[in-house]
Amino acid sequence: MPLLIDTYNVLHVTGVLPPDLAGIDAAGLVDLLALSRYRRMESCLVCDGVPRPGMPVGAVGHARVVYAGGERSADEVIEAMIARCTAPRRMTVVSSDRQIARSARRRRCRTLRAETFLGHLAHDAARSGGHSKAVRKPNPPLPASHVDTWVRLFGLTENDLSLPAADLWWVRPRPGDAEPGDEIDPDDLDMRRILGER
Protein backbone atom coordinates (compact mmCIF):
# COMPACT_ATOMS: atom_id res chain seq x y z
CA MET A 1 0.00 0.00 0.00
CA PRO A 2 2.25 2.82 -1.19
CA LEU A 3 -0.20 5.69 -0.53
CA LEU A 4 -1.97 6.17 2.82
CA ILE A 5 -4.29 9.20 2.76
CA ASP A 6 -5.76 11.10 5.70
CA THR A 7 -8.93 11.75 3.69
CA TYR A 8 -10.68 14.47 5.67
CA ASN A 9 -7.38 16.25 6.29
CA VAL A 10 -6.99 16.47 2.49
CA LEU A 11 -10.64 17.40 1.89
CA HIS A 12 -10.48 20.30 4.36
CA VAL A 13 -7.64 22.04 2.50
CA THR A 14 -8.94 25.25 0.92
CA GLY A 15 -7.65 27.44 -1.87
CA VAL A 16 -5.92 24.69 -3.86
CA LEU A 17 -8.61 23.18 -6.08
CA PRO A 18 -10.10 25.23 -8.92
CA PRO A 19 -13.75 26.29 -8.45
CA ASP A 20 -15.13 23.46 -10.62
CA LEU A 21 -13.50 20.89 -8.32
CA ALA A 22 -13.90 22.64 -4.95
CA GLY A 23 -16.18 21.03 -2.40
CA ILE A 24 -15.56 17.41 -3.34
CA ASP A 25 -16.20 14.56 -0.92
CA ALA A 26 -14.46 11.18 -0.50
CA ALA A 27 -16.05 9.89 -3.73
CA GLY A 28 -14.75 12.94 -5.61
CA LEU A 29 -11.28 12.39 -4.15
CA VAL A 30 -11.34 8.79 -5.44
CA ASP A 31 -12.30 10.17 -8.88
CA LEU A 32 -9.45 12.70 -8.81
CA LEU A 33 -7.01 9.94 -7.84
CA ALA A 34 -8.13 7.98 -10.91
CA LEU A 35 -7.19 10.95 -13.14
CA SER A 36 -3.85 11.60 -11.48
CA ARG A 37 -0.22 10.48 -11.46
CA TYR A 38 -1.22 8.29 -8.50
CA ARG A 39 -3.83 6.30 -10.46
CA ARG A 40 -1.72 3.12 -10.67
CA MET A 41 -0.58 3.21 -7.05
CA GLU A 42 -2.34 1.15 -4.43
CA SER A 43 -4.00 3.75 -2.20
CA CYS A 44 -5.86 3.62 1.08
CA LEU A 45 -8.14 6.53 1.98
CA VAL A 46 -8.91 6.56 5.71
CA CYS A 47 -12.03 8.50 6.75
CA ASP A 48 -13.44 9.39 10.15
CA GLY A 49 -16.75 7.90 11.29
CA VAL A 50 -18.98 5.67 9.20
CA PRO A 51 -19.88 6.03 5.52
CA ARG A 52 -22.88 8.11 4.52
CA PRO A 53 -25.19 6.64 1.87
CA GLY A 54 -23.58 6.87 -1.55
CA MET A 55 -20.03 7.11 -0.22
CA PRO A 56 -17.48 4.61 -1.49
CA VAL A 57 -16.51 1.73 0.80
CA GLY A 58 -13.90 -0.93 0.22
CA ALA A 59 -12.05 -1.36 -3.07
CA VAL A 60 -12.63 1.25 -5.78
CA GLY A 61 -10.13 0.64 -8.60
CA HIS A 62 -6.63 0.90 -7.12
CA ALA A 63 -8.01 2.70 -4.07
CA ARG A 64 -9.43 1.24 -0.90
CA VAL A 65 -11.70 3.40 1.26
CA VAL A 66 -11.71 2.62 4.99
CA TYR A 67 -13.87 4.23 7.69
CA ALA A 68 -12.62 4.44 11.28
CA GLY A 69 -16.06 3.78 12.79
CA GLY A 70 -17.51 5.31 15.92
CA GLU A 71 -14.95 4.03 18.40
CA ARG A 72 -11.71 5.37 16.87
CA SER A 73 -10.57 8.38 14.87
CA ALA A 74 -9.05 8.20 11.41
CA ASP A 75 -5.79 9.45 12.95
CA GLU A 76 -5.69 6.42 15.28
CA VAL A 77 -6.37 4.05 12.38
CA ILE A 78 -3.66 5.70 10.25
CA GLU A 79 -1.11 5.53 13.07
CA ALA A 80 -1.94 1.84 13.62
CA MET A 81 -1.52 1.15 9.88
CA ILE A 82 1.84 2.94 9.89
CA ALA A 83 2.95 0.88 12.90
CA ARG A 84 1.87 -2.42 11.26
CA CYS A 85 3.38 -1.69 7.84
CA THR A 86 6.03 -4.27 6.92
CA ALA A 87 7.65 -2.04 4.28
CA PRO A 88 7.37 1.49 5.68
CA ARG A 89 9.99 2.97 3.34
CA ARG A 90 7.71 2.15 0.41
CA MET A 91 4.71 3.91 1.96
CA THR A 92 3.84 7.58 1.41
CA VAL A 93 1.59 9.09 4.06
CA VAL A 94 -0.53 12.04 2.91
CA SER A 95 -1.50 14.34 5.79
CA SER A 96 -0.76 17.77 7.19
CA ASP A 97 -1.43 16.50 10.71
CA ARG A 98 1.79 16.91 12.70
CA GLN A 99 1.29 13.83 14.87
CA ILE A 100 0.66 11.59 11.86
CA ALA A 101 3.67 13.05 10.02
CA ARG A 102 5.82 12.43 13.12
CA SER A 103 4.65 8.81 13.33
CA ALA A 104 5.33 8.33 9.61
CA ARG A 105 8.83 9.83 9.79
CA ARG A 106 9.64 7.74 12.88
CA ARG A 107 8.96 4.61 10.77
CA ARG A 108 10.83 6.17 7.80
CA CYS A 109 7.73 6.48 5.63
CA ARG A 110 7.71 9.23 3.05
CA THR A 111 5.34 12.07 3.87
CA LEU A 112 3.42 14.43 1.64
CA ARG A 113 1.51 17.45 2.93
CA ALA A 114 -2.20 17.49 2.09
CA GLU A 115 -1.85 20.83 0.26
CA THR A 116 0.93 19.50 -1.98
CA PHE A 117 -0.99 16.29 -2.72
CA LEU A 118 -4.18 18.19 -3.57
CA GLY A 119 -2.13 20.51 -5.80
CA HIS A 120 -0.84 17.45 -7.69
CA LEU A 121 -4.41 16.19 -8.14
CA ALA A 122 -5.63 19.59 -9.38
CA HIS A 123 -2.71 19.88 -11.82
CA ASP A 124 -3.27 16.36 -13.14
CA ALA A 125 -7.03 16.91 -13.53
CA ALA A 126 -6.35 20.09 -15.55
CA ARG A 127 -3.92 18.16 -17.78
CA SER A 128 -6.44 15.37 -18.30
CA GLY A 129 -8.30 17.55 -20.78
CA GLY A 130 -11.57 18.41 -19.09
CA HIS A 131 -12.19 15.07 -17.41
CA SER A 132 -12.65 16.94 -14.15
CA LYS A 133 -16.37 17.19 -14.94
CA ALA A 134 -16.59 13.46 -14.12
CA VAL A 135 -15.55 14.16 -10.54
CA ARG A 136 -18.50 13.66 -8.21
CA LYS A 137 -19.53 16.40 -5.85
CA PRO A 138 -21.73 15.70 -2.85
CA ASN A 139 -25.45 16.04 -3.39
CA PRO A 140 -26.75 19.08 -1.55
CA PRO A 141 -29.48 18.36 1.00
CA LEU A 142 -33.05 18.83 -0.17
CA PRO A 143 -34.75 22.03 0.95
CA ALA A 144 -37.17 21.49 3.85
CA SER A 145 -40.13 22.42 1.63
CA HIS A 146 -39.26 19.55 -0.77
CA VAL A 147 -38.91 17.11 2.11
CA ASP A 148 -42.30 18.22 3.48
CA THR A 149 -43.87 17.69 0.05
CA TRP A 150 -42.50 14.14 -0.19
CA VAL A 151 -43.57 13.35 3.38
CA ARG A 152 -47.14 14.51 2.61
CA LEU A 153 -47.21 12.78 -0.79
CA PHE A 154 -46.24 9.40 0.67
CA GLY A 155 -48.23 9.87 3.89
CA LEU A 156 -45.18 9.31 6.10
CA THR A 157 -45.36 9.78 9.85
CA GLU A 158 -42.67 10.74 12.37
CA ASN A 159 -42.32 7.03 13.20
CA ASP A 160 -41.67 6.18 9.53
CA LEU A 161 -39.00 8.86 9.28
CA SER A 162 -37.13 7.56 12.33
CA LEU A 163 -36.91 3.97 11.03
CA PRO A 164 -33.69 2.76 9.45
CA ALA A 165 -34.17 1.88 5.78
CA ALA A 166 -34.00 -1.86 6.52
CA ASP A 167 -37.21 -1.58 8.61
CA LEU A 168 -39.24 0.11 5.88
CA TRP A 169 -41.35 -2.59 4.21
CA TRP A 170 -41.50 -0.75 0.89
CA VAL A 171 -37.72 -0.77 0.43
CA ARG A 172 -36.95 -4.17 1.93
CA PRO A 173 -36.38 -6.70 -0.89
CA ARG A 174 -38.47 -9.85 -0.89
CA PRO A 175 -37.34 -13.22 -2.23
CA GLY A 176 -37.66 -13.10 -6.01
CA ASP A 177 -37.56 -9.29 -6.19
CA ALA A 178 -35.58 -7.86 -9.09
CA GLU A 179 -31.95 -6.98 -8.49
CA PRO A 180 -30.84 -3.36 -9.05
CA GLY A 181 -30.38 -2.81 -12.78
CA ASP A 182 -32.83 -5.59 -13.80
CA GLU A 183 -35.60 -4.70 -16.23
CA ILE A 184 -38.98 -4.39 -14.51
CA ASP A 185 -42.25 -5.01 -16.30
CA PRO A 186 -44.89 -2.57 -14.95
CA ASP A 187 -47.51 -5.36 -15.23
CA ASP A 188 -45.53 -7.33 -12.60
CA LEU A 189 -45.80 -4.60 -9.95
CA ASP A 190 -47.99 -5.35 -6.93
CA MET A 191 -49.71 -1.98 -6.66
CA ARG A 192 -51.78 -3.06 -3.63
CA ARG A 193 -48.56 -3.70 -1.72
CA ILE A 194 -46.98 -0.45 -2.92
CA LEU A 195 -50.06 1.62 -2.02
CA GLY A 196 -50.37 0.00 1.38
CA GLU A 197 -53.51 -2.05 0.66
CA ARG A 198 -52.25 -5.24 2.28
Domain spanning 3-134: CATH 3.30.110: no
Strands annotated E in the chain: 3-6, 43-47, 58-60, 63-67, 92-94, 110-112
184 band by pLDDT with thresholds 50, 70 and 90: low
CA–CA distance, 120 with 114 (Å, rounded to integer): 10
CA–CA distance, 27 with 132 (Å, rounded to integer): 13
Mean pLDDT of 165-175: 44
pLDDT surpassing 60 at residue 170: no
- Residue 163 has a pLDDT of 46
Which of residues 90 and 149 earns the better pLDDT score? 90
**Confidence (pTM):** 0.64
156 band by pLDDT with thresholds 50, 70 and 90: low
Domain boundaries, given as residue ranges, for the chain: 3-134, 144-194
